[in-house]
Amino acid sequence: MDMKGESRIEAPRAKVWDALNDPEVLKASIAGCEELEKTSDNTFTAKVRAKVGPVSARFTGEVTLKDIDPPNGYTIQGEGKGGAAGFAKGGADVRLEEDGDATILSYEVNATVGGKLAQIGSRLINSTARKMADDFFAKFKEKVEGAGGNAEA
């Protein structure tokens, strides 16, 4: 599954970059996230409860940040296991571009799933993944813009 998108965030790029590296902001932005812990400068562990069609599970996994280029972007790679529900693994290239006083956050995701999740069908998986991405970026944008707006600009 491949997916692209972008979001315009009314905040300076440095502030968006800081938020992309803040476990509390990320945890609050991920639907169903029960735990998100930074285990090193570029590694996080997470527990997320998710439902895809009829399959509901708690996924545990690790996320690693690579190709880190502050404040321009990074690559996220991760894998999560949901027991009998199966697994998901993949990556995303995240880029930040200044747009006046705002920031354009763009992303390109590729992911694969296995186990029961793979049996659900690509259309349902893709629509669920799109909804999860849209929800994440809406919450992330709200957190960043709500945390002082452009006051730091």
Hey, where are the domains in the chain? 2-146
Q: What is the CATH code for 2-146?
A: 3.30.530.20
Q: What is the pLDDT along the chain (153 residues), one digit of tens a residue?
A: 899 999 999 999 999 999 999 999 999 999 899 999 999 999 999 999 988 888 888 999 999 999 999 999 999 999 999 998 999 899 999 999 999 999 999 999 988 989 988 888 888 888 888 888 889 999 999 999 985 544 443
Q: pTM (2 decimals)? A: 0.87
Three-state helix/strand/coil letters over the chain: CEEEEEEEECCCHHHHHHHHCCHHHHHHHCCCEEEEEEEECCEEEEEEEEEECCEEEEEEEEEEEEEEECCCEEEEEEEEECHHHCEEEEEEEEEEEEECCEEEEEEEEEEEEECHHHHHCHHHHHHHHHHHHHHHHHHHHHHHHHCCCCCCC
Quote the CA–CA distance of 153 and 13 in Å, as a whole number: 10
- Residue 151's pLDDT is 42
- The H or E element containing residue 146 is helix 122-146
